[in-house]
Amino acid sequence: MSSDSVTIDSPERFQQVLSADLERVSVTNFWAPWAEPCKAMNEEFDKLAKKYPKVLFLNVCAAPRARLSHDRCALSEHGG
């Protein structure tokens, strides 16, 4: 990912970055490393981040979050 964008690795980091930069418009790119369309989108996202430095560009790899969400749902369904 571009150095002009911020990589988000946790929900806390997402909230922290957004809260610290309330003056700029933000664009969030949720992507998965195994998805071919995401690879193409990541390239365009990086270009946009370089072209528009006044915009806050955030990259969130959705793959690790999906497993966390799945585990939480499974616990909820079984009374956990």
- Residue 48's pLDDT is 95
1 pLDDT more than 80: no
Q: What are phi and psi of 22, to 5 degrees?
A: -80, -10
Q: Domain 5-77 carries which CATH code?
A: 3.40.30.10
Distance CA 65, CA 50 (A): 27
Quick: pLDDT tens for 20-76.
Answer: 988 899 999 998 888 899 999 999 999 999 999 999 999 998 876 555 444 444 444
pLDDT of residue 66: 57
- Other Cβ atoms less than 10 A from the Cβ of 16: the count is 12
Q: How far apart are CA 44 and CA 14, in angstroms?
A: 21
Domain ranges of the chain: 5-77
Residue by residue, DSSP assigns 30-48 as EE-TT-HHHHHHHHHHHHH
